[in-house]
Structure 1
Amino acid sequence: MKKFSVTAKAYSDTTAADLLAEKCAKAGIELSKIKIKNLMKQGACWTKSAKPERIRKAKYEIKRGQTIKLYVDPNIAEFDMSTVECLHETHHYGVYYKPAGLLCQGTKYGDEYTIIREIHKRTGREPFLIHRLDKETAGVMMIAYTKKAARAFSQQIKNHKIQKTYQAEVKGKPEKAKRLESVIDGKNAILEYEVKKYLEKTALVEVNLITGRKHQIRIQFTELGFPVMGDPRYGKGNVNDTGLALIASKLVFDDPWRSGNLVTIEVPQDKRLF
């Protein structure tokens, strides 16, 4: 089913849900008021302004002359958010396990099934992304709970002070260990890997990510001729039945509030590739 949007302008003071329901009724759009309220809760309603803001409350007051917009994507599937696990937490930040298939943050169509929204609901605090994982990639993610923590960890990322380790299964048999350097989107991309085990037609590798470019591991191993198994976007002949065989397995970082205290967080054993 196709995505669509509903734009509604208020000609008198009203509520967001009433305005959208009236607009849908007049336009012959089959969206019940209950469905509209659910979409609003899921973060799909926005003010139409220079700086759009999400409207989640059905009774949000809309003044005469204001315009709001509801974005509808019928293809968004429910996700079992109980599979998001907190692995380590302090007052300033948390490290979480993000399962494969879950977005880090939302879009204009909503943010209900994202790790950032889930953490906000659990903690009641505004979370800040320090780094991202692809939707298809499972693994450890650091989330800051304060702007101060976000700045501190962002600086560590910038200075390559946070060690990010991945596990992957790649097609073929690459050489035992190698440093890969290339350019992705005009920026240097560097990683180092070591083969941990050769299988019949694939290899299990551990990757130390030096830089953090979008899809970096997936792109660089494809360029090398050994694409990640199960990758829906990169490589040929690397289809499998279990999805992308790539996991962010470990984070090592310095806790800014305990200077010199290196913290190591790994995914649970049952979620690792090896």
Structure 2
Amino acid sequence: MGTSRRTRLAAGYLPKGIRLLHEDTHILVVHKPAGLLTMGTLSDKTATVYAVLTDYVRKGNSKSRKRIFIVHRLDKDTSGILVFAKSGDMKRRLQEGWQDVEKRYMAVVHGVPKHASGIETCFLAENKAHVMYATDDPHNGKLSQTSWRVMQSRGDRSLLELRLLTGRKHQIRVHLSDMGHPILGDRIYGRHKDRRRGLALHAASLAFTHPASGERVTFEAEAPPTFMQLL
């Protein structure tokens, strides 16, 4: 979806690193850099996209009651597209149709898959440490599916394009690790000797039906230049 002149001008008010891709009466769409939380946690209250955009819609007015609503999240070390709603009703409508959103990711992984493409399927469960793991027991986990294809390989690394067929916590990271091709820099599901800073995972595009207009919209964000440098 094209970026309007108004959006380009407004983007100048955002901190360096956050790009405003689209804004209308109902939603905000931004390109989040790696290393920035979507929203704060009890253990990490550093700068967040939520705080930045709240200040943006309030135009620096501390007395303003304007706010934004989180529709979905990206992990701190994942870059890419985030959608926020400008009202509670719009948040609800977006989340109700979120299973129909087309989500495309890119990742640089260890190794070269034996096949050019495939679909990874398993049930995902969460342990007491809040770490996800794959299981064959449908009573102990939720069905998860990720479609993937190899875009490029060089040496012992590959660039993959991934599409979420379901949306579970850490789904892509667990699936790729289970395949034997963990994402570079993944300190939870990756290789213990991988000391790379940052996670080589990028939310490249989102496509969905706008709840207000009924129009099918697509938003895209290029992967960081460092992605190709990893190959």
User: TM-score normalised to the size of structure 2?
Assistant: 0.77
- Cα 1:117–1:111 shift into 2, 3 Å: farther
Does the Cα contact within 8 Å between 1:191 and 1:207 map onto a contact in 2? yes
For 1:168, which of 96, 107, 120 is the aligned residue?
107
Does the Cα contact within 8 Å between 1:100 and 1:138 map onto a contact in 2? yes
- Cα 1:171–1:115 shift into 2, 3 Å: same
Between 177-186 and 108-117, the greater mean CA deviation after superposition: 108-117
> Is the counterpart of residue 264 in structure 1 residue 204 in structure 2?
no
Which position in structure 1 is the counterpart of 2:10?
A: none
> Is the counterpart of residue 107 in structure 1 residue 41 in structure 2?
yes
- Secondary structure of the structure 1 residue equivalent to 2:16: helix
- Cα 1:109–1:208 shift into 2, 3 Å: closer
Structure 2: gaps spanning 5 or more residues: 1-13, 59-65, 126-140
- Cα 1:263–1:272 shift into 2, 3 Å: farther
Q: Deviations over 1:169-221 (max 9, x none)?
A: 11111121111111112211111011111111111100001112111111110
Runs of 4+ in 1 over 3 A off after TM superposition: 108-112, 268-274
User: Letter of the aligned partner of 2:157 in structure 1?
Assistant: T
Which position in structure 2 is the counterpart of 1:50?
A: none
User: TM-score normalised to the size of structure 1?
Assistant: 0.65
Which position in structure 2 is the counterpart of 1:142?
A: 83
Q: Deviations over 1:41-60 (max 9, x none)?
A: xxxxxxxxxxxxxxxxxxxx
Which position in structure 1 is the counterpart of 2:52?
A: 118
How many Å separate the matches in 1 of 2:166 and 2:107?
A: 17
Q: Deviations over 1:6-65 (max 9, x none)?
A: xxxxxxxxxxxxxxxxxxxxxxxxxxxxxxxxxxxxxxxxxxxxxxxxxxxxxxxxxxxx
Does the Cα contact within 8 Å between 1:106 and 1:114 map onto a contact in 2? yes
- Cα RMSD, aligned residues only: 2.0
Does the Cα contact within 8 Å between 2:22 and 2:28 map onto a contact in 1? yes
User: Letter of the aligned partner of 1:155 in structure 2?
Assistant: E
User: Letter of the aligned partner of 2:26 in structure 1?
Assistant: H
User: Letter of the aligned partner of 1:265 in structure 2?
Assistant: F
Between 231-240 and 127-136, the greater mean CA deviation after superposition: 231-240
- Secondary structure of the structure 1 residue equivalent to 2:67: coil
> Is the counterpart of residue 229 in structure 1 residue 229 in structure 2?
no
How many percent identity over aligned positions?
32
How many Å separate the matches in 1 of 2:172 and 2:142?
A: 14
How many Å separate the matches in 2 of 1:206 and 1:238?
A: 24
Q: Which has the higher contact order (CA 8 A, sep 6+)?
A: 2
